[in-house]
Amino acid sequence: MIALSAFGFVGLTGAFAGCSEGEPAPADTGTTLETGPRTPGYGVEVVAEFPHDTGAFTQGLLWHEGKLFESTGTVGKSGIREVALASGRPLRQQPLEEPHFGEGIVILGGTLYQITWQSGKAFTYDWKTFTRTGELRYDGEGWGLTTDGTSLIMSNGSNTLIYRDPKTFAAQKAVTVTDRGNMVSQLNELEWVKGEIWANVWQKDSIARIDPATGNVTGWIDLTGLLPQLDRTGKEDVLNGIAYDAATDRIHVTGKLWPKLYEIRLKAK
């Protein structure tokens, strides 16, 4: 928990980050933009760093009522867990049975929702006990999940965010994400942060800040070099996982198979 040196913003073409082991990226519906000076860019300052389970193929990360939750992927290793921030160890966990490949999670009301990559199923749990309470269906792939407090918001690896009914999972509307008119594809892990949607982009080291009403990218957060190269394995250990704790105004990020989880603070370029 020692403050570390700041990471400056390294060009707006910088990277983002992504989905799941063995997942071929879906066909792009447009070209991901290499952003220019008209899109605000942000660097980050590392406030603190914490251990992270290197066996966790992180698909979703969130804070809820002072507790940190994480979902993991790959068939046979998928599940949901509550994690101790200080140690990175699971306090409790619920595995997801084969053949399902777990993806993003979110909590709304008393329900924890967990989507799957290609099964077309979302599972619901009592978030306090991890007892499964139901199963919902949807078409296509599932990647990331968040909520605006009313609807569920899901990504599927394209440039489209789908708003869904929490009770039925029926699609309510779709929002196309663009940066100055250019489509931003392969949207992955999502987080609702102060009225914005923040999104990892598969295999990149940046986070897109998205206006939920218009789908416009309002800024890019550059995390290039956040995890030192010496700590990388090269086994899809990409940035993926954004958790915002509104009660303490803290932002945490991590990646798939990363040994560290970071608390960060934004710095304007």
pLDDT, tens only, 82-135:
999 999 999 999 999 999 999 999 999 999 999 999 999 999 999 999 999 999
What φ, ψ does residue 128 adopt, rounded to 5°?
-80, -25
Cβ atoms of 147 and 60 closer than 8 Å: no
Q: What is the model's pLDDT at position 136?
A: 97
CA–CA gap between residue 121 and residue 135 (Å, rounded): 7
Q: What is the model's pLDDT at position 268?
A: 81
By three-state DSSP, how is residue 183 classified? strand
pLDDT tens for each residue of 65-76: 999 999 999 899
Q: What is the model's pLDDT at position 142?
A: 96
Residue 159 confidence (pLDDT) above 50: yes
CA distances from 107 to 57, 197, 254, 255 (A): 20, 15, 19, 20
Sheet arrangement for strand 121-126: 102-108, 111-116, 121-126, 131-137
CA distances from 52 to 4, 23, 245 (A): 17, 23, 18
CA distances from 246 to 167, 181, 194 (A): 25, 31, 8
Q: What is the model's pLDDT at position 37?
A: 55
Residue 13 confidence (pLDDT) above 50: no
Q: What angle do CA 161, 173, 165 make, to 5 degrees?
A: 95
For the chain, give the percent of residues with pLDDT over 70: 86
Taking the model in full, what pTM does it have? 0.83
- The residue-averaged pLDDT of 187-213 equals 95
By three-state DSSP, how is residue 76 classified? coil
Q: What is the model's pLDDT at position 38?
A: 77
Q: What is the model's pLDDT at position 238?
A: 87
CA–CA gap between residue 228 and residue 84 (Å, rounded): 23
Residue type for 201, please?
Answer: V
- Band the pLDDT of 44: cuts 50, 70, 90: very high
- The residue-averaged pLDDT of 205-222 equals 95
Q: What is the model's pLDDT at position 29?
A: 39
Q: Which of 238, 265, 267 shows the shortest CA–CA distance to 252? A: 265
Q: Centre a 10 Å sphere on the Cβ of residue 48 and count the other Cβ atoms it contains.
A: 15
